[in-house]
Amino acid sequence: MALAAPKLNKQEYSDNHQSNARKLEKMRLVILIASLLILAEPSNSNALDQQGSSCDDLGALAADPLRKSEPVKFQDIQANQLISACHAAIASATKSQDQARYYLQLGRGQLRDGDSKGAISSFHKSASFAYPAGYFALGVAYLLGDDVEKDDAKAKYYLLLALEGNVVWAAKALSTLHDNKASEFYDVKLGQNYLTLFQDGRF
């Protein structure tokens, strides 16, 4: 004799549906942060003509158009060495752009070390110097809402600043933001426009 499937009332069905939707959205955002902040593909940059410091050599981000060294994949980051090198580089830096880049890379080391709050703080410091990739890192953080309160308005603000600074991956993040039906900025056409911009690499 087959067992009858348990029946759910409308409220239970609605709660389960919303719970599953939240889980799927969370999974999608986790994948997004991996693709945007960790696994972004390398791009050509004139900045590579200059010799980088150890902080640059150990933690350059592929999505950063102002990086000074070849990009380092997240899984290849040696967290303790990168954190130590970036602290030393920050202390001796005389140019604000260098400090901003070092803070961004310090944040990558802190993420690799599991210190997400420290990483967010470093990204804020990088952005405070109007560093494009620092804006990008903050925009993604607010888009995800893992270690700061999720805020699509702030995410859009920082990602647009990053895009103005030629951070290609900011267009991809903005596409994801506008494709999210739960966002106040849901706009399928605009999302597609940003995706096309990302794919074409035109600014």
Indicate which CATH number applies to the domain containing 104. 1.25.40.10
In a domain, 98, yes or no: yes
Centre a 10 Å sphere on the Cβ of residue 7 and count the other Cβ atoms it contains: 7
What is residue 69's predicted lDDT score, i.e. its pLDDT? Answer: 95
What is residue 200's predicted lDDT score, i.e. its pLDDT? Answer: 87
Q: CA 32, 37, 40 angle in degrees (round to 5)?
A: 90
Residue-wise pLDDT for 25-39, tens only, equals: 545 544 455 445 544
Question: Sign of dihedral through CA atoms 159, 160, 163, 164?
Answer: negative
In a domain, 5, yes or no: no
In a domain, 86, yes or no: yes
- Which tokens in the block code for residue 198? 């990302």
Long-range contacts: 68-73, Cβ < 8 Å, 24+? 68/101, 70/42, 71/40, 71/42, 73/38, 73/39
What is residue 14's predicted lDDT score, i.e. its pLDDT? Answer: 52
Q: How far apart are CA 134 and CA 124, in angstroms?
A: 7
**Predicted structure pTM score:** 0.75
What is residue 53's predicted lDDT score, i.e. its pLDDT? Answer: 66
In a domain, 19, yes or no: no
In a domain, 1, yes or no: no
192 pLDDT more than 50? yes
Residue 21 or 116, more confident: 116
Q: How far apart are CA 155 and CA 140, in angstroms?
A: 6
What is residue 121's predicted lDDT score, i.e. its pLDDT? Answer: 95
Range of the domain at 119: 36-200
Residue 38: C-alpha distances to residues 112, 164, 176 (Å): 10, 21, 16
What is residue 33's predicted lDDT score, i.e. its pLDDT? Answer: 52
What is residue 5's predicted lDDT score, i.e. its pLDDT? Answer: 43
Q: How far apart are CA 132 and CA 86, in angstroms?
A: 18
Residue-wise pLDDT for 112-170, tens only, equals: 999 989 999 999 999 999 999 999 999 999 998 877 889 999 999 999 999 999 999 99
With a CB cutoff of 8 Å and minimum separation 6, the contacts of 69 are: 48, 52, 56, 57, 60
What is residue 109's predicted lDDT score, i.e. its pLDDT? Answer: 96
Largest CA distance in the chain: 79
What is residue 145's predicted lDDT score, i.e. its pLDDT? Answer: 85
Q: How many domains does the chain have?
A: 1
Cβ contact 119:103 at 8 Å: no
Centre a 10 Å sphere on the Cβ of residue 161 and count the other Cβ atoms it contains: 20
In a domain, 55, yes or no: yes
3: buried, middle or exposed (CB in 10 Å: 19+, 13-18, 0-12)?
A: exposed
Binned at pLDDT 50, 70 and 90, residue 11 comes out as low
In a domain, 60, yes or no: yes
Q: How far apart are CA 136 and CA 159, in angstroms?
A: 5
Task: Count the alpha carbons within 13 Å of 106 in the hemisphere toward its beta carbon.
Answer: 24
In a domain, 195, yes or no: yes
Residue-wise pLDDT for 23-77, tens only, equals: 555 455 444 554 455 445 444 444 444 445 699 999 999 999 999 999 999 999 9
